[in-house]
Amino acid sequence: MKLNRRHFMAASAGVAATTLAAPHVYAASHGGKPKVVVIGGGAGGATAARYIAKDADGAIDVTLVEPTRTYYTCFFSNLYIGGFRTIESLAHSYGTLASEYGINVIHDYAVGVDRDAKTVTLAGGDTLPYDRLILSPGIDFVDGSVPGWDVTKQNAMPHAYKAGSQTELLKAQIEAMPEGGLFAMVAPPNPYRCPPGPYERVSMVAHLLRDINPTAKILIIDPKEKFSKQGLFEEGWNNNYPGMVERIGPDFGGNNVSVNADEMTVDIDGSVEKVDVCNVIPAMKAGIICEAAGINDGNWAPVSPHTMQSRADENIYVLGDASAQGDMPKSGFSANSQAKVAAMSVRAALTDSKMFPAKYSNTCWSLIDTDNGVKVGASYEATDEKIASVESFISQPGEDAALRKQTYEESIGWYEGISADIFG
């Protein structure tokens, strides 16, 4: 007999539900145990699925929908480019979530949400009923934000802003650059995932080029006046990669750029530049399933700061990059932090478990050069209007080498910690 995992899971979870410790369950709208469907098995979605399954002890059916079998973390993907990590070290699978937490993992892509019927439609044709729906689909790109570029051009001009093959491609292109060649990055406008991400990437590209192609140059074309950890990055580039990095901000036309992927050229405010590698990071919006669910306001899905529930539909939660929540940066740390609040709220809504006040925090590490890490972080509280920053800290320019090394080592500990917290 071929054991169908979905049936098997349902059966074993049923056993757990009869144990004494199982929490009391409120009525489910589709009959049977209450059902939670999570769309997106990334930093937000996988954390939420794991916490709900773990703490509900089988009283809630948790289904996780994620198209890929292997999730490559964007966090630390720049370190792969710099040569500090292998691509395999960024890979995570869903095996533990299924086997240890009884989560029903479906590898498919959600294409529609019927909010009245409370069902999700999958590209494979299945329809999943839910009592609560969690959307953590990450980002998609805004069409036309960099004229000349769309996703069909992503092999010539990679974004590498969803990790995996894109990241490998970008690194291979950098390694193949001619001696003294030019790497260009079209940086994104706010808001976008991982505010220091593009600039950490520049540091890691510079690190790689310093070893293999020291006369190569890096050009950042940036629509923003200023950027995250700017003082720290600029100090690092000056000290460690002198003369290599140039940035064109909006005052010199950085906000008026188009590309030609066939010619490998970049047009900056009318002057055309030939480039060897072009990393286009377009403007971003919430993963398109949010639009399909009709819960967006503009490009993002607004949420209640107390619970991460969509402002448009209290049965839907939106986590991570896709949500418009206030002051938290779009980061893996934030998504993980928000997922725990949402998990608690979902459990309180579907079982008799307790609801505590929401607490959020974030820390983002960036690597500038070998053993030269910096960090920025903040804690947040929920107000009625938004998730508001309470307290923050940032590494200082001129810190000594011992502290920078320690900061880098901490970031490695964090990567291990958050990976275990997301994927079990």
Ligand X SMILES: Cc1cc2nc3c(=O)[nH]c(=O)nc-3n(C[C@H](O)[C@H](O)[C@H](O)COP(=O)(O)OP(=O)(O)OC[C@H]3O[C@@H](n4cnc5c(N)ncnc54)[C@H](O)[C@@H]3O)c2cc1C
Q: Contact between 289 and ligand X (CB under 6 A)? A: yes
Which one among 268, 378, 382, 387 touches another protein, defined by CB under 8 A? 378
Among positions 23, 34, 40, 236, the unique one binding ligand X when judged by CB under 6 A: 40
Site string for another protein, 305-344 (x = CB under 8 A): ----------------------------x--xx--x---x
Q: Choose which of 265, 361, 370, 389 interacts with another protein (CB under 8 A).
A: 361
Binding mask 389-408 for another protein (x = CB under 8 A): -xxxx--x-xxx-xx-xx--
**Which listed option, another protein, ligand HEC, ligand X, none, makes contact with residue 89 (CB within 5 to 8 Å by class)?**
none
List the structure tokens of 55.
């703490």
Contact characters 338-377, ligand HEC, x per CB under 6 A = -------------------------x--------------
Residue 45, class by beta-carbon neighbours within 10 Å (0-12 exposed, 13-18 middle, 19+ buried)? buried
Q: Report if residue 234 touches ligand HEC, rule: CB under 6 A.
A: no
Q: Does 381 bind ligand HEC (CB under 6 A)?
A: no
Burial code (b: 16+ CB inside 10 Å, e: under 16) for 211-223 equals: eebeebbbbbbbb
Among 37, 128, 170, 194, binds ligand X (CB under 6 A): 194
251 DSSP 8-state letter: G
* Cβ 88 to ligand X shortest distance, Å: 17
List all residues 6 or more positions away from 189 whose beta carbon is below 8 Å from its beta carbon.
145, 223, 224, 255, 283
- Strand duo 277-280 + 182-186: pairing: parallel
* Residue indicated by tokens 């006369």: 215
H or E element that contains 90: none
Nearer to ligand HEC, 304 or 366 (CB): 366
Q: What is the DSSP letter of 20?
A: T
Write the secondary structure of 168-231 as one string of H (helix), E (strand) and C (coil): HHHHHHHHCCCCCCEEEEECCCCCCECCCHHHHHHHHHHHHHHHHCCCCEEEEECCCCCCCCHH
Q: Closest CB to ligand HEC among 275 and 344?
A: 344
258 touching another protein, by CB under 8 A: no
Q: Please give the residue ranges that form the binding site for another protein (CB under 8 A).
A: 51, 333, 336-337, 340, 344, 354, 356, 359, 361, 363, 375, 377-379, 390-393, 396, 398-400, 402-403, 405-406, 409-414, 416-418, 420-421
Which residues contribute to the site for ligand HEC (CB under 6 A)? 363, 410, 414
